[in-house]
Amino acid sequence: MSGASRLIIALAVAGSSTLLGSPVRGAEDDGSQVLPGDTRGAITGDVDGDGVPELVRVTNPNQSSQVVLEAWAHDGDEWSIIGTSVVARLDEEQSARVPLDVAADGFGLIAWNDGESERVLIATTGGVADDGRGCCLTIS
């Protein structure tokens, strides 16, 4: 193929998007909703088993040190909260569960399928004050 032929093909392809309109468009106003409070992490997963993924997020209400896991569902019009749980981890002695502290402890959200259903797990670690290392991985 000659250089002139390549140029004509390139111009035809480039010009077609201008003449025909681009198939990519900006998002229309779809009634987006801002969820209240700080979001520290989020993931989607079918947590109620209905076949439709929910939004699972980690937040600390009212900027407290406490960490809360929330599940949100969309009904076609808006998001609504369907459940909450305070996140806890094992203490350093691994003898009791203590609330996760947003400033001192670490966490991660994991999407997981056990072969039968979809799950969302939260893995947490506690910080050890005297040496700064993590301690006690807890998966909930």
Q: What DSSP letter does each residue of 102-125 carry, written as one string?
A: TTT-EEEEEEEE-SSSEEEEEEEE
- Give yes or no for residue 11 having a pLDDT over 70: no
Instruction: Check pLDDT > 80 for residue 94.
Output: no
The structural domain count of the chain equals 1
Instruction: Answer whether residue 15 is part of any domain.
Output: no
Whether 34 is in a domain gets the answer no
Contact 133, 113 (CB under 8 A): no
With 70 as the cut, is the pLDDT of residue 25 above it? Answer: no
pLDDT at 113: 84
Q: How far apart are CA 93 and CA 9, in angstroms?
A: 70
Domain that holds residue 127: 39-139
- 81 within some domain: yes
**Model pTM?**
0.66
